[in-house]
Structure formats: structure tokens, C-alpha cells
Structure 1
Amino acid sequence: MNSKLDELAGQSDRDSTPDTVDGLALARLYGEPLFNVPTDLYIPPDALEVFLEAFEGPLDLLLYLIRKQNFNILDIPMADLTRQYLEYINEIRNRNLELAAEYLLMAAMLIEIKSRMLLPVIPKDDGSEPEDPRAELARRLIEYEQMKLAAQELDKLPVIDRDFWVSHAHHDPETVARLPDVLPHELKEAWQAILRRASLNKTHTISREELSVREHMTFILRRLQTQKFVEFFDLFDVQRGVPVVVVHFIAMLELTREGLLRVTQAEPYAPIYVRLGYEATGENAASGAIAAA
């Protein structure tokens, strides 16, 4: 009998919580499973309230209703818009009366516009048409939509501490900068690169050669004293370069102009020969021409 009582007492000291509670417990409170809802638990009325659409004010609500139904913002059907707006206001009044105050003011404005549209149109004294009662509301809605779109574009820009963070690094100005070490093969590659660049740059010195037309005229006359006819191509030494050949040709033209040389050709396409002029064929005349040159 006593052994059974001791066994029952030992069982009462054990934890009666089942090991598997995931499928049985309603929740966990401070890490402990909760199987029954407490009778004194207070749940606020707005605890489980869910807002599917959040508006920032009456104009935001009106703009939402207009855009949702594709109404023309310059020709608003006030009857339908006022009815839908009042239905939303009634929902707000049942939940938050303080929040509904601003919306009620807009509702009064909508009702006033709707009433003014029902009245007959009375023309002005100057004959112009009266202003549309919806004009002021349309202007406010257009301005609000522009500001809202501008705010959305600004919100897309990167914002500090939201899209990026500013990094801070400690800099000690007294720290001595450590230069990197240069390895031998790196120095070799740098020297080879300098040699390759130097091979691409070549210098050419141009020296100015003094050439005298008079000297070449004298040279031609002296040569023609020993030869009666000299072929045109044999008169020029092409190995001395283009500048010498050009000056030599000018000297020959100058002698021809003065009548000291004659350029002859036996027939078309025949070789061209150069000889002394008839008036300078004599030895004395040739010597005088050389002295004059």
C-alpha cells in the first residue's frame, strides 16, 4: 500500500506536459506551450484589423476612385464619385472618428459641388459662362497627382542609410607609406619596354647644302669644250641626288636662254643632244663665256 502511494507521489512530481506539442498547443508563451486560451485574455478591437488600401488623405482617396474607374478628371461624374466616397467615409467613422474628420470636410465639399450642379446655370452679367463648380476640385486633384508622382520619382533616388551607407576609415597622417618592393624580373621587363619604345623613335638630321647655279653653268661649259655633242641623260649625275640634278637642269636652261647652249634632236623620239651655241663655238668665245659665268 505504501509503495503504491510513493509511486503516485513520484508521478505527481513529474512534468505532465506532453513531449510533442507542435500539433496540440495553440501557441507558446515565454517558451512554454499554451493549450487553452486564458479566460482573462484581452484582445483590443483593432488588433486583427487589416487595411487593404491606405490613403494619405481625402484627395488621395478621390484620386484613387477616379483612376480606378477611368473617370475624366476634367469631367467628374459627381453623383457616382460622391456615393462611393460616402461609403468609404461610413467605414472610417465606424472605426476611427478622429481620422474621419478630415474626410468629412471633403464629403461636405463634394455634396456642395453636387448641389450646385443641380441648380440651373445663370449666365454672368458680361455674357460669359459661369465657372464649372468642379473646376477647383479638378485643379486640386491635378496638382496633388503631380506632387505624388514627383514624390515617387524622388523616392526612387538612392537614399543614405536606406540604399547605401557611408563608410568611414581611420587615416593616420603620421603613418609612413611603405613603397612596394621591385623584383629583378620586373626591372628587366621595364627596361625591355623602354628599349622597345626607343626603337620606335628614330631621328633624321637634314643638312642644308649650298648649291650654286653659276658653278653648274661653268661645269657644263667646260664639259662641252671637250665633247661636241653630249646626250641629254649623260649630262646629269643622278647619283648625287635630286637637289643637284635640279640645280644642274636649271643651269642648263639658263645657258640655253642666254644662247650658250643648243638642245637638238634629229627627229621625233630620237635622242636629245646638248652642244655649245654657234656664237660660242670658238675657243676664245668659250673661254669668255666661262669667265662670264
Structure 2
Amino acid sequence: MRNKRWFFVSFTVAVDQFEGPLDLMLHLIKEKELDLFDLDIHVLTEQYLLYLNKMEEMHLEVCSEYLVELATLIEYKSKKLLPKQEAELNDAYEEDPKDRLVRRLLEYQQFKEISEQLKQLYLDRQRQITKPISIESEEWIKANENQPVQGSPYELAKAMTKCLRRMQLLRPIETKYTAKEISVEDRILQITARLADLPETFSFERLLEDCHEIHETIVTFLAILDMAHTHQLYFTVDDADTIWFRRGA
């Protein structure tokens, strides 16, 4: 069942092809040649609903996070049906859900592109033979206590993938979802504020303690990449594929 491909409407999908609703939306946007910066929510909602209906017809379970995003799309469409004056009054107090969705899709798309680059670097590295380093996490912390270190992209890609798997974020989870929107810039500010309360050396999992959804984890990952690029953080990966950080400049 896992590798079986299904054919319907004007696109082809695999049951396990998508990692979540944002991944599905990006596929539909590309398939229907929609403009992400001028997104036609009406078309996207119709195609998204069509996909979920087809899943139900095939007696496949539709996970809660897909239904939550469907409710968000329908809410946006319903607001467009309101009288213009009432809609403008609501928009004065709320962020445009279309802008919020586009921002999330752009961030997710950026994460996917970075992940693909890191994956390729990791695959290239797999063709090389190196002598393995045998150290425990505690020993690594002591050995690197007084010196900044910087890991390599393929190590980060491998460790990040294992971290996501440990958190069971690579497959949908049946949980109650509460929307929590945050930008990469805001996440950097949050992490910077937390540094004073964290040990000199800390793991990536410590930064994910307040992350409950894949979107939050993606934003955190993009934030630490930015901080590593500007040398606010240094990272390395131990033998257990745990990502460790030290404060930088």
C-alpha cells in the first residue's frame, strides 16, 4: 500500500508523498501554475478539498492537520463573501489570512530548498571514507567547552533528519492543533533572549522544547541557520547525531 500510486483528476499523487498540508499546497500551486505571490485562494481551496475528498473515497484517513488547514482556507473564502464594509472592519483588526498563508508557504518552501541542498551534500559525503570519531556527548562538551566549533552542512542535514524523526514530525500526528504564527526574525529574537538561560553548550532539542508543530520547527531551523551564518551560534554534531550549539560573537 505504501508504494502504490493513485491517479485521479488532473494530477498524480502517492499516498505518502506529502509531509503535511503545506507540502500538499505547494504541490497544488505548482500543478495548477498558481502565482504564490498573488495566490488565488479560491482555486487552491477547491483543489485542496478535491484531494481530501478523494482520500476519503479511497477510505484513507485524513489527518487532523490537513483538516485544520482546510478550515483556514474556507474561513478566508467566507470572509470574501462578507459585505465589503464588514470585511474591511474585520481586516482592520486582523492580519489578512491570505498574507499569513503565503508567508508560511514561502518559509516552508525555503526550508525544503535548504533541506534538498543539505541532503545532496550529505549524499556526496557518503561517497567519501573517513575515520570515525568515537566520543560520547558528555566528553564532547568537556573537550569543546572553551573553543567555538563549526559543523559541516552534511552533518547538519543528517542530524536534522534524525531529530525530526525522533520528534515524529516527518509523518502526520493526530493531535489538537492550535495555530501559532511566528516569523524567522521573531524566532531569532526569541532564541537570542533564551541564550542567557541556556548552558554554554546546549542541544538543538533544547531549542525545540516550545515547538509542537512542524511549522514551528521549520522556523526554528531557519533561524539557527541564519544565526550560524552570522556567527551568533556555532554548531557541531556528535556520534549520536545530536546537534550541539555554543554561543558565538
TM-score, normalization by structure 2: 0.42
Q: Which has the higher helix share?
A: 2
TM-score, normalization by structure 1: 0.36
